[in-house]
Structure 1
Amino acid sequence: MLDTTKPAPASQDNPFVRYEIKDHVARITIDRPDRRNAIGRDVRRGLIEAFADAAVNDDVWLVTLTGTGDQAFCAGGDLKEKDETARANKSIVVPMTGAYRNLYETVLETYKPTIAILNGGAYGGGFELAMACDLRIAASHVKLGLPEAKRGMGANFGSTLLPRILPRAIAMEMLYTGDPITADEAARWGLVNAVVPKDELAARADALINRIVCNAPLTLRRYKHVSVKGWDMPIASALRLDVGPNPYLSADREEGVRAFVEKRQPRWTGR
Protein backbone atom coordinates (compact mmCIF):
# COMPACT_ATOMS: atom_id res chain seq x y z
CA MET A 1 0.00 0.00 0.00
CA LEU A 2 1.20 3.49 -0.80
CA ASP A 3 2.35 5.33 2.33
CA THR A 4 0.44 8.61 2.43
CA THR A 5 1.82 9.79 5.75
CA LYS A 6 2.35 13.53 5.78
CA PRO A 7 4.51 15.40 8.27
CA ALA A 8 3.00 18.11 10.39
CA PRO A 9 3.08 21.60 8.95
CA ALA A 10 5.96 23.70 10.23
CA SER A 11 3.63 25.60 12.57
CA GLN A 12 2.89 22.32 14.38
CA ASP A 13 6.55 21.52 15.10
CA ASN A 14 6.25 20.84 18.82
CA PRO A 15 8.40 18.53 20.99
CA PHE A 16 5.45 17.37 23.09
CA VAL A 17 2.71 16.95 20.47
CA ARG A 18 3.05 14.56 17.53
CA TYR A 19 0.82 15.19 14.52
CA GLU A 20 0.60 13.19 11.33
CA ILE A 21 -1.93 12.70 8.55
CA LYS A 22 -2.35 9.36 6.86
CA ASP A 23 -5.22 7.94 4.81
CA HIS A 24 -7.42 10.96 5.67
CA VAL A 25 -6.89 10.48 9.41
CA ALA A 26 -5.09 13.10 11.50
CA ARG A 27 -3.46 11.40 14.47
CA ILE A 28 -2.54 13.69 17.37
CA THR A 29 -0.49 12.30 20.26
CA ILE A 30 0.52 13.99 23.50
CA ASP A 31 4.14 12.87 23.89
CA ARG A 32 5.19 13.80 27.40
CA PRO A 33 5.23 10.53 29.36
CA ASP A 34 7.66 11.82 32.00
CA ARG A 35 4.89 14.21 33.14
CA ARG A 36 2.06 11.73 32.47
CA ASN A 37 1.22 13.69 29.30
CA ALA A 38 0.21 16.70 31.39
CA ILE A 39 -0.92 19.89 29.70
CA GLY A 40 1.77 22.52 30.06
CA ARG A 41 2.12 25.65 27.95
CA ASP A 42 3.83 23.86 25.06
CA VAL A 43 1.35 20.98 25.03
CA ARG A 44 -1.57 23.39 25.07
CA ARG A 45 -0.17 25.40 22.20
CA GLY A 46 0.71 22.27 20.20
CA LEU A 47 -2.76 20.76 20.61
CA ILE A 48 -4.51 23.98 19.62
CA GLU A 49 -2.34 24.32 16.51
CA ALA A 50 -2.78 20.66 15.52
CA PHE A 51 -6.58 20.67 15.90
CA ALA A 52 -6.80 24.06 14.16
CA ASP A 53 -4.91 22.67 11.17
CA ALA A 54 -6.94 19.45 11.08
CA ALA A 55 -10.15 21.48 11.12
CA VAL A 56 -9.35 23.26 7.85
CA ASN A 57 -7.24 20.64 6.10
CA ASP A 58 -9.30 19.11 3.29
CA ASP A 59 -7.17 15.96 3.39
CA VAL A 60 -8.36 15.27 6.96
CA TRP A 61 -11.69 13.46 7.35
CA LEU A 62 -11.28 12.29 10.97
CA VAL A 63 -9.09 13.22 13.96
CA THR A 64 -7.83 11.02 16.78
CA LEU A 65 -6.23 12.04 20.07
CA THR A 66 -4.21 9.84 22.41
CA GLY A 67 -1.23 9.90 24.74
CA THR A 68 2.13 8.15 24.81
CA GLY A 69 2.49 5.00 26.94
CA ASP A 70 -0.20 3.19 28.92
CA GLN A 71 -0.09 5.08 32.23
CA ALA A 72 -1.87 8.26 31.23
CA PHE A 73 -3.93 9.58 28.36
CA CYS A 74 -3.45 12.97 29.99
CA ALA A 75 -3.06 13.78 33.68
CA GLY A 76 -4.58 17.23 33.21
CA GLY A 77 -2.90 20.55 33.84
CA ASP A 78 0.79 20.51 34.70
CA LEU A 79 0.59 21.28 38.43
CA LYS A 80 4.38 21.51 38.75
CA GLU A 81 4.39 24.19 36.09
CA LYS A 82 1.50 25.99 37.79
CA ASP A 83 3.35 25.88 41.12
CA GLU A 84 6.50 27.28 39.52
CA THR A 85 4.42 30.04 37.95
CA ALA A 86 2.82 30.90 41.30
CA ARG A 87 6.20 30.92 43.09
CA ALA A 88 7.48 33.34 40.46
CA ASN A 89 4.50 35.62 41.20
CA LYS A 90 3.20 35.21 37.67
CA SER A 91 -0.42 34.72 36.65
CA ILE A 92 -1.71 31.46 35.18
CA VAL A 93 -4.02 31.56 32.19
CA VAL A 94 -7.64 31.90 33.32
CA PRO A 95 -10.20 29.90 31.27
CA MET A 96 -11.59 31.73 28.22
CA THR A 97 -8.73 34.30 28.30
CA GLY A 98 -5.19 34.53 26.97
CA ALA A 99 -3.44 34.75 23.63
CA TYR A 100 -4.61 31.34 22.39
CA ARG A 101 -8.07 29.95 21.81
CA ASN A 102 -9.54 27.85 24.60
CA LEU A 103 -8.15 24.36 24.07
CA TYR A 104 -11.36 22.46 24.79
CA GLU A 105 -13.45 24.73 22.60
CA THR A 106 -10.92 24.22 19.82
CA VAL A 107 -11.38 20.45 20.03
CA LEU A 108 -15.17 20.66 20.36
CA GLU A 109 -15.36 23.03 17.38
CA THR A 110 -13.25 20.84 15.09
CA TYR A 111 -16.06 20.09 12.69
CA LYS A 112 -14.93 16.60 11.76
CA PRO A 113 -15.33 13.34 13.70
CA THR A 114 -12.97 13.24 16.69
CA ILE A 115 -12.04 10.15 18.72
CA ALA A 116 -10.24 10.09 22.06
CA ILE A 117 -8.25 6.86 22.38
CA LEU A 118 -7.84 6.53 26.14
CA ASN A 119 -4.61 4.61 26.66
CA GLY A 120 -4.37 5.57 30.34
CA GLY A 121 -5.90 7.70 33.05
CA ALA A 122 -7.70 10.91 32.05
CA TYR A 123 -7.89 13.44 34.86
CA GLY A 124 -8.82 17.10 35.08
CA GLY A 125 -7.94 18.79 31.81
CA GLY A 126 -7.18 15.39 30.30
CA PHE A 127 -10.72 14.25 31.03
CA GLU A 128 -11.98 17.52 29.60
CA LEU A 129 -10.01 16.82 26.41
CA ALA A 130 -11.67 13.41 26.15
CA MET A 131 -15.13 14.94 26.73
CA ALA A 132 -14.49 17.49 23.98
CA CYS A 133 -14.10 14.63 21.47
CA ASP A 134 -17.14 12.98 19.88
CA LEU A 135 -16.27 9.36 20.69
CA ARG A 136 -14.17 7.72 23.38
CA ILE A 137 -12.67 4.23 23.44
CA ALA A 138 -10.85 3.22 26.62
CA ALA A 139 -8.42 0.56 27.78
CA SER A 140 -9.88 -1.44 30.65
CA HIS A 141 -7.45 -0.08 33.28
CA VAL A 142 -8.38 3.56 32.59
CA LYS A 143 -9.91 5.83 35.21
CA LEU A 144 -11.51 9.20 34.50
CA GLY A 145 -12.17 12.07 36.84
CA LEU A 146 -12.21 15.77 37.62
CA PRO A 147 -10.19 16.21 40.84
CA GLU A 148 -10.30 20.01 40.67
CA ALA A 149 -12.34 20.28 43.89
CA LYS A 150 -9.37 18.64 45.66
CA ARG A 151 -6.94 21.16 44.13
CA GLY A 152 -8.82 24.43 44.40
CA MET A 153 -9.24 24.58 40.61
CA GLY A 154 -12.40 25.11 38.57
CA ALA A 155 -12.89 22.55 35.74
CA ASN A 156 -14.57 25.30 33.74
CA PHE A 157 -15.19 23.17 30.63
CA GLY A 158 -15.89 19.95 32.51
CA SER A 159 -18.40 21.46 34.91
CA THR A 160 -20.28 22.84 31.92
CA LEU A 161 -20.18 19.75 29.71
CA LEU A 162 -20.30 16.78 32.11
CA PRO A 163 -23.91 17.43 33.30
CA ARG A 164 -24.93 17.52 29.61
CA ILE A 165 -23.37 14.11 28.94
CA LEU A 166 -24.21 12.21 32.13
CA PRO A 167 -27.32 12.10 34.29
CA ARG A 168 -27.09 15.27 36.35
CA ALA A 169 -26.82 13.56 39.75
CA ILE A 170 -23.93 11.36 38.58
CA ALA A 171 -22.13 14.33 37.04
CA MET A 172 -22.56 16.46 40.14
CA GLU A 173 -21.29 13.65 42.39
CA MET A 174 -18.15 13.40 40.25
CA LEU A 175 -17.65 17.17 40.38
CA TYR A 176 -18.34 17.55 44.10
CA THR A 177 -16.23 14.61 45.31
CA GLY A 178 -13.45 14.80 42.74
CA ASP A 179 -13.37 11.00 42.79
CA PRO A 180 -12.62 9.15 39.53
CA ILE A 181 -14.70 6.43 37.93
CA THR A 182 -13.49 3.30 36.14
CA ALA A 183 -13.74 2.75 32.41
CA ASP A 184 -16.48 0.17 33.00
CA GLU A 185 -18.50 2.68 35.04
CA ALA A 186 -17.99 5.28 32.32
CA ALA A 187 -19.28 2.81 29.73
CA ARG A 188 -22.33 2.05 31.86
CA TRP A 189 -23.27 5.74 31.80
CA GLY A 190 -22.52 6.11 28.08
CA LEU A 191 -19.45 8.25 28.69
CA VAL A 192 -17.21 5.95 26.64
CA ASN A 193 -18.20 3.95 23.57
CA ALA A 194 -16.15 0.84 24.32
CA VAL A 195 -13.82 -0.64 26.93
CA VAL A 196 -11.17 -3.05 25.66
CA PRO A 197 -8.05 -4.81 26.98
CA LYS A 198 -5.10 -2.44 26.69
CA ASP A 199 -3.25 -4.71 24.26
CA GLU A 200 -6.25 -4.56 21.92
CA LEU A 201 -6.79 -0.80 22.15
CA ALA A 202 -4.90 0.21 19.00
CA ALA A 203 -6.53 -2.46 16.84
CA ARG A 204 -10.04 -1.77 18.14
CA ALA A 205 -9.55 1.97 17.68
CA ASP A 206 -8.37 1.43 14.11
CA ALA A 207 -11.41 -0.72 13.40
CA LEU A 208 -13.69 2.08 14.60
CA ILE A 209 -11.73 4.65 12.59
CA ASN A 210 -12.08 2.56 9.42
CA ARG A 211 -15.83 2.15 9.94
CA ILE A 212 -16.20 5.93 10.01
CA VAL A 213 -13.63 7.19 7.53
CA CYS A 214 -15.02 4.99 4.74
CA ASN A 215 -18.14 7.18 4.74
CA ALA A 216 -18.80 10.43 2.88
CA PRO A 217 -16.59 13.17 4.40
CA LEU A 218 -19.03 16.01 3.70
CA THR A 219 -21.81 14.12 5.47
CA LEU A 220 -19.55 13.50 8.47
CA ARG A 221 -18.73 17.19 8.68
CA ARG A 222 -22.40 18.12 8.35
CA TYR A 223 -23.30 15.79 11.23
CA LYS A 224 -20.65 17.40 13.43
CA HIS A 225 -21.81 20.95 12.67
CA VAL A 226 -25.45 20.15 13.37
CA SER A 227 -24.83 18.09 16.49
CA VAL A 228 -22.61 20.74 18.12
CA LYS A 229 -24.43 23.89 17.03
CA GLY A 230 -27.89 22.45 17.55
CA TRP A 231 -27.14 20.76 20.89
CA ASP A 232 -29.41 22.86 23.10
CA MET A 233 -31.68 24.31 20.42
CA PRO A 234 -35.35 23.40 20.03
CA ILE A 235 -35.77 20.72 17.38
CA ALA A 236 -37.62 23.04 15.01
CA SER A 237 -34.75 25.52 15.15
CA ALA A 238 -32.03 22.89 14.85
CA LEU A 239 -33.70 21.42 11.75
CA ARG A 240 -33.41 24.82 10.07
CA LEU A 241 -29.73 25.34 10.80
CA ASP A 242 -27.82 26.13 7.63
CA VAL A 243 -24.42 24.89 8.81
CA GLY A 244 -21.53 22.98 7.36
CA PRO A 245 -21.24 21.63 3.83
CA ASN A 246 -24.42 20.70 2.00
CA PRO A 247 -24.18 17.00 1.09
CA TYR A 248 -27.48 17.07 -0.77
CA LEU A 249 -25.96 19.17 -3.57
CA SER A 250 -22.56 17.48 -3.62
CA ALA A 251 -20.78 15.31 -6.16
CA ASP A 252 -20.30 12.78 -3.36
CA ARG A 253 -24.06 12.42 -3.01
CA GLU A 254 -24.29 11.53 -6.71
CA GLU A 255 -21.35 9.13 -6.32
CA GLY A 256 -22.84 7.48 -3.23
CA VAL A 257 -26.15 6.76 -4.95
CA ARG A 258 -24.44 5.57 -8.16
CA ALA A 259 -22.10 3.28 -6.23
CA PHE A 260 -25.07 1.71 -4.45
CA VAL A 261 -26.88 1.12 -7.76
CA GLU A 262 -23.71 -0.31 -9.34
CA LYS A 263 -23.00 -2.45 -6.24
CA ARG A 264 -19.48 -1.11 -5.64
CA GLN A 265 -17.66 0.93 -3.03
CA PRO A 266 -18.01 4.70 -3.46
CA ARG A 267 -15.02 6.83 -4.38
CA TRP A 268 -15.37 9.96 -2.27
CA THR A 269 -13.78 13.24 -3.33
CA GLY A 270 -15.04 15.52 -0.58
CA ARG A 271 -16.83 17.72 -3.10
Structure 2
Amino acid sequence: MPVHREHRGRVMLLTIDRPERRNSLDHATLNALSSGLRDAAADREVRAVVLTATGERAFSAGLDLKAVAEAGMPDPAASPLHLLRDGYPLPVLAAINGPALGGGFELALACDLRVAAEHAYFALPEVSLGIAATEGGTDLPQRLPLAVALEVGLTGDRLTASRAYELGLVNRVVPGPEVLTTTVALAERIAEHSPAAVRTTKDLMYRSIETDRATLRARAREATDRLLAGPDVVEGMAAFAGKRAPRWAAPAAS
Protein backbone atom coordinates (compact mmCIF):
# COMPACT_ATOMS: atom_id res chain seq x y z
CA MET A 1 0.00 0.00 0.00
CA PRO A 2 1.37 3.44 -0.90
CA VAL A 3 -0.24 5.01 2.18
CA HIS A 4 -0.42 3.41 5.62
CA ARG A 5 -3.07 4.30 8.20
CA GLU A 6 -2.61 4.19 11.94
CA HIS A 7 -4.86 5.32 14.76
CA ARG A 8 -3.01 6.94 17.65
CA GLY A 9 -5.80 7.60 20.08
CA ARG A 10 -7.94 10.32 18.54
CA VAL A 11 -5.37 11.09 15.84
CA MET A 12 -5.25 9.34 12.45
CA LEU A 13 -1.75 9.04 11.00
CA LEU A 14 -1.46 8.79 7.20
CA THR A 15 2.03 7.85 6.02
CA ILE A 16 3.14 7.96 2.39
CA ASP A 17 5.31 4.89 1.93
CA ARG A 18 7.21 5.17 -1.34
CA PRO A 19 10.76 5.91 -0.15
CA GLU A 20 12.26 4.36 -3.28
CA ARG A 21 10.51 7.11 -5.29
CA ARG A 22 11.17 9.83 -2.69
CA ASN A 23 7.52 9.52 -1.67
CA SER A 24 6.37 11.01 -4.95
CA LEU A 25 2.67 11.15 -5.72
CA ASP A 26 1.32 8.72 -8.29
CA HIS A 27 -2.32 7.91 -8.97
CA ALA A 28 -2.54 5.20 -6.32
CA THR A 29 -0.93 7.39 -3.66
CA LEU A 30 -3.21 10.33 -4.36
CA ASN A 31 -6.27 8.09 -4.27
CA ALA A 32 -5.14 6.47 -1.02
CA LEU A 33 -4.56 9.85 0.63
CA SER A 34 -7.99 11.06 -0.45
CA SER A 35 -9.63 7.87 0.81
CA GLY A 36 -7.82 8.14 4.15
CA LEU A 37 -8.87 11.75 4.61
CA ARG A 38 -12.51 10.99 3.78
CA ASP A 39 -12.55 8.05 6.18
CA ALA A 40 -10.98 10.16 8.94
CA ALA A 41 -13.64 12.85 8.51
CA ALA A 42 -16.36 10.19 8.71
CA ASP A 43 -14.90 8.56 11.84
CA ARG A 44 -16.52 10.08 14.94
CA GLU A 45 -13.53 9.07 17.07
CA VAL A 46 -10.93 10.93 14.97
CA ARG A 47 -10.29 14.53 16.01
CA ALA A 48 -7.16 15.36 13.97
CA VAL A 49 -5.06 13.97 11.10
CA VAL A 50 -1.27 13.86 10.71
CA LEU A 51 0.27 13.47 7.26
CA THR A 52 3.87 12.26 7.00
CA ALA A 53 6.10 10.00 4.90
CA THR A 54 8.60 7.20 5.28
CA GLY A 55 12.32 7.85 5.76
CA GLU A 56 14.26 11.10 5.84
CA ARG A 57 15.02 11.60 2.14
CA ALA A 58 11.76 13.37 1.35
CA PHE A 59 8.34 14.28 2.63
CA SER A 60 7.36 14.15 -1.03
CA ALA A 61 9.19 14.95 -4.25
CA GLY A 62 5.85 15.93 -5.78
CA LEU A 63 4.00 14.42 -8.70
CA ASP A 64 5.54 11.17 -9.95
CA LEU A 65 6.48 12.24 -13.48
CA LYS A 66 7.30 8.68 -14.53
CA ALA A 67 3.79 7.61 -13.57
CA VAL A 68 2.36 10.62 -15.41
CA ALA A 69 4.29 9.67 -18.55
CA GLU A 70 2.87 6.15 -18.38
CA ALA A 71 -0.70 6.80 -17.21
CA GLY A 72 -1.38 10.48 -17.83
CA MET A 73 -2.19 13.27 -15.39
CA PRO A 74 -4.25 12.33 -12.30
CA ASP A 75 -7.83 13.53 -12.10
CA PRO A 76 -7.65 16.85 -10.20
CA ALA A 77 -11.06 16.19 -8.65
CA ALA A 78 -9.66 13.08 -6.93
CA SER A 79 -6.69 14.90 -5.46
CA PRO A 80 -6.35 15.18 -1.66
CA LEU A 81 -5.40 18.81 -2.24
CA HIS A 82 -8.97 19.54 -3.25
CA LEU A 83 -10.31 17.90 -0.12
CA LEU A 84 -7.92 19.82 2.12
CA ARG A 85 -8.42 23.18 0.42
CA ASP A 86 -12.20 22.97 0.19
CA GLY A 87 -13.39 23.17 3.77
CA TYR A 88 -12.02 19.90 5.17
CA PRO A 89 -13.43 19.82 8.72
CA LEU A 90 -10.65 18.20 10.77
CA PRO A 91 -7.37 19.87 11.68
CA VAL A 92 -4.60 18.39 9.51
CA LEU A 93 -0.95 18.59 10.51
CA ALA A 94 2.04 17.85 8.27
CA ALA A 95 5.04 16.08 9.83
CA ILE A 96 7.58 17.11 7.21
CA ASN A 97 10.34 14.54 7.52
CA GLY A 98 12.39 15.78 4.55
CA PRO A 99 12.29 17.96 1.43
CA ALA A 100 8.86 18.90 0.09
CA LEU A 101 8.99 19.72 -3.61
CA GLY A 102 6.35 20.77 -6.11
CA GLY A 103 3.17 18.89 -5.31
CA GLY A 104 4.75 17.73 -2.07
CA PHE A 105 5.17 21.36 -1.04
CA GLU A 106 1.58 22.03 -2.07
CA LEU A 107 0.42 19.07 0.02
CA ALA A 108 2.21 20.51 3.05
CA LEU A 109 0.72 23.94 2.32
CA ALA A 110 -2.77 22.45 2.23
CA CYS A 111 -2.35 21.26 5.82
CA ASP A 112 -3.26 23.54 8.71
CA LEU A 113 -0.06 23.22 10.76
CA ARG A 114 3.44 22.18 9.73
CA VAL A 115 6.30 20.68 11.75
CA ALA A 116 9.54 20.32 9.78
CA ALA A 117 12.78 18.44 10.25
CA GLU A 118 15.88 20.61 10.41
CA HIS A 119 17.15 19.20 7.11
CA ALA A 120 13.85 19.73 5.28
CA TYR A 121 13.41 22.35 2.61
CA PHE A 122 10.68 23.52 0.25
CA ALA A 123 10.72 24.34 -3.46
CA LEU A 124 8.43 24.85 -6.43
CA PRO A 125 10.39 23.61 -9.47
CA GLU A 126 7.37 23.73 -11.77
CA VAL A 127 8.65 26.73 -13.75
CA SER A 128 11.65 24.65 -14.85
CA LEU A 129 9.18 22.18 -16.38
CA GLY A 130 7.17 24.83 -18.20
CA ILE A 131 4.19 24.66 -15.86
CA ALA A 132 2.86 26.60 -12.87
CA ALA A 133 2.21 25.39 -9.32
CA THR A 134 -1.51 26.05 -9.47
CA GLU A 135 -2.56 23.48 -6.84
CA GLY A 136 -1.57 25.76 -3.98
CA GLY A 137 1.88 27.03 -4.86
CA THR A 138 0.54 30.14 -6.56
CA ASP A 139 -1.39 30.89 -3.35
CA LEU A 140 1.90 31.46 -1.50
CA PRO A 141 1.32 35.25 -1.27
CA GLN A 142 -1.43 34.38 1.25
CA ARG A 143 1.23 32.82 3.49
CA LEU A 144 4.44 34.75 2.74
CA PRO A 145 5.43 38.32 1.89
CA LEU A 146 4.79 38.86 -1.81
CA ALA A 147 8.45 39.39 -2.73
CA VAL A 148 9.45 36.16 -0.96
CA ALA A 149 6.60 34.20 -2.53
CA LEU A 150 7.53 35.47 -5.99
CA GLU A 151 11.16 34.52 -5.48
CA VAL A 152 10.18 30.99 -4.45
CA GLY A 153 7.74 30.64 -7.34
CA LEU A 154 9.80 32.26 -10.09
CA THR A 155 13.24 30.84 -9.33
CA GLY A 156 12.39 27.35 -8.09
CA ASP A 157 15.07 27.86 -5.42
CA ARG A 158 14.96 26.19 -2.02
CA LEU A 159 13.36 27.66 1.08
CA THR A 160 15.01 26.09 4.10
CA ALA A 161 13.02 24.90 7.10
CA SER A 162 14.64 27.51 9.33
CA ARG A 163 13.78 30.31 6.90
CA ALA A 164 10.23 28.98 6.55
CA TYR A 165 9.93 29.09 10.34
CA GLU A 166 11.18 32.69 10.44
CA LEU A 167 8.53 33.62 7.89
CA GLY A 168 5.73 31.88 9.78
CA LEU A 169 5.16 29.14 7.22
CA VAL A 170 6.25 26.39 9.61
CA ASN A 171 5.12 26.04 13.24
CA ARG A 172 8.08 24.05 14.56
CA VAL A 173 11.53 23.00 13.34
CA VAL A 174 12.98 20.02 15.19
CA PRO A 175 15.63 17.32 14.68
CA GLY A 176 14.55 14.69 12.17
CA PRO A 177 13.89 11.91 14.70
CA GLU A 178 11.54 14.20 16.65
CA VAL A 179 9.33 15.33 13.77
CA LEU A 180 6.60 12.74 14.08
CA THR A 181 6.41 12.68 17.88
CA THR A 182 6.28 16.49 17.99
CA THR A 183 3.53 16.63 15.38
CA VAL A 184 1.43 13.90 16.97
CA ALA A 185 1.76 15.62 20.36
CA LEU A 186 0.52 18.86 18.79
CA ALA A 187 -2.39 17.00 17.19
CA GLU A 188 -3.23 15.35 20.52
CA ARG A 189 -3.23 18.78 22.16
CA ILE A 190 -5.82 19.96 19.63
CA ALA A 191 -7.82 16.74 20.06
CA GLU A 192 -8.28 17.49 23.77
CA HIS A 193 -10.71 20.29 22.99
CA SER A 194 -14.33 20.48 21.88
CA PRO A 195 -14.59 19.03 18.37
CA ALA A 196 -17.34 21.48 17.46
CA ALA A 197 -15.36 24.47 18.71
CA VAL A 198 -12.18 23.32 16.95
CA ARG A 199 -13.99 22.87 13.63
CA THR A 200 -15.73 26.22 13.98
CA THR A 201 -12.50 28.02 14.87
CA LYS A 202 -10.67 26.50 11.90
CA ASP A 203 -13.47 27.42 9.52
CA LEU A 204 -13.78 31.02 10.72
CA MET A 205 -10.03 31.62 10.76
CA TYR A 206 -9.74 30.58 7.12
CA ARG A 207 -12.74 32.68 6.20
CA SER A 208 -11.17 35.68 7.93
CA ILE A 209 -8.44 35.94 5.29
CA GLU A 210 -10.79 35.80 2.33
CA THR A 211 -14.07 37.38 3.48
CA ASP A 212 -15.16 40.97 4.08
CA ARG A 213 -15.50 41.95 7.73
CA ALA A 214 -19.27 42.36 7.80
CA THR A 215 -19.85 38.88 6.37
CA LEU A 216 -17.26 37.43 8.72
CA ARG A 217 -18.90 39.02 11.78
CA ALA A 218 -22.29 37.63 10.72
CA ARG A 219 -20.84 34.14 10.27
CA ALA A 220 -19.08 34.39 13.62
CA ARG A 221 -22.35 35.28 15.35
CA GLU A 222 -24.12 32.36 13.65
CA ALA A 223 -21.33 30.00 14.70
CA THR A 224 -21.46 31.25 18.27
CA ASP A 225 -25.22 30.65 18.39
CA ARG A 226 -24.71 27.08 17.14
CA LEU A 227 -22.03 26.37 19.73
CA LEU A 228 -24.08 27.84 22.58
CA ALA A 229 -27.01 25.66 21.57
CA GLY A 230 -24.86 22.51 21.50
CA PRO A 231 -23.73 20.17 24.31
CA ASP A 232 -20.03 21.03 24.38
CA VAL A 233 -20.38 24.42 26.05
CA VAL A 234 -22.42 22.92 28.88
CA GLU A 235 -19.89 20.12 29.34
CA GLY A 236 -16.96 22.54 29.15
CA MET A 237 -18.39 24.76 31.89
CA ALA A 238 -19.29 21.78 34.07
CA ALA A 239 -15.82 20.28 33.69
CA PHE A 240 -14.19 23.60 34.57
CA ALA A 241 -16.39 24.03 37.64
CA GLY A 242 -15.80 20.43 38.68
CA LYS A 243 -12.04 20.63 38.06
CA ARG A 244 -12.12 17.57 35.81
CA ALA A 245 -11.32 16.74 32.21
CA PRO A 246 -14.23 17.41 29.86
CA ARG A 247 -16.06 14.52 28.22
CA TRP A 248 -16.79 15.88 24.77
CA ALA A 249 -19.62 14.49 22.69
CA ALA A 250 -18.45 12.69 19.55
CA PRO A 251 -19.06 14.95 16.53
CA ALA A 252 -21.47 13.98 13.80
CA ALA A 253 -19.83 12.22 10.87
CA SER A 254 -18.79 14.56 8.05
Corresponding position of 1:72: 58
Superposition map of 1:47-86 within 5 A: 47-85=33-71
What SS class does the counterpart of residue 240 from structure 1 fall into? Answer: helix
User: Which residue of 2 is the match for residue 104 of structure 1?
Assistant: 81
TM-score by length of 2: 0.91
Asked whether 1:266 is paired with 2:246, we answer: yes
- Aligned: 1:251 with 2:231: yes
Pairs aligned (count): 248
Residue 185 of structure 1, CA deviation: 0.5
Amino acid in the other structure paired with 1:181: L
Alignment partner of 1:207 out of 185, 188, 201? 185
**CA shift in 2, pair 1:207/1:75, >3 Å:** same
Normalized per residue, the structure richer in helix is 2
Higher relative contact order (CA 8 A, sep 6+): 2
Q: Which one of the candidate residues 114, 131, 142 is aligned to 1:164?
A: 142
Whole-angstrom CA distance in 2 between matches of 1:61 and 1:202:
17
Pairing partner for 1:138 from 103, 116, 122: 116
Q: Does 1:118 align with 2:77?
A: no
Partner of 2:171: 193
For residue 183 of structure 1, report the CA deviation from its aligned partner: 0.3
1:78-108 C-alpha deviation (Å, 9 max, x unpaired) = 01222334xxxxx424xxxx37434312123
Shift of 1:180: 1.2
Alignment of 1:81-96 (within 5 A): 81-85=67-71, 91-93=72-74
Separation in structure 2 between the aligned mates of residue 79 and residue 127 of structure 1, nearest angstrom: 15
SS at match of 2:135: helix
Provide structure 1 residue ranges, at least 5 long, that are not aligned to the other structure: 1-14, 86-90
In the alignment, does 2:3 pair up with 1:25?
A: no
Contact 1:149–1:177 (Cα < 8 Å) also in 2: yes
Deviation, 1:251, is: 1.3
Q: How far apart are residue 129 of structure 1 and its match?
A: 0.4
Query: What is the TM-score of this pair, normalised by structure 1?
Result: 0.86
- Give 1:163 deviation, angstroms: 1.0
Q: 1:66 to 1:107 in 2, by over 3 A?
A: same
CA distance in 1: counterparts of 2:225 and 2:49, whole angstroms: 18
Which has the larger displacement, 223-232 or 46-55? 223-232
User: CA–CA distance in 2 between the matches of 1:37 and 1:116?
Assistant: 14
1:155 match: 133
Q: For 1:57 and 1:16, locate their aligned partners in 2 and report how far apart those are by CA, in whole Å.
A: 21
Q: 1:124 to 1:244 in 2, by over 3 A?
A: farther
Change over 3 Å in CA distance of 1:67–1:263 after alignment to 2: same
- State the shift of 1:228 in Å: 2.9
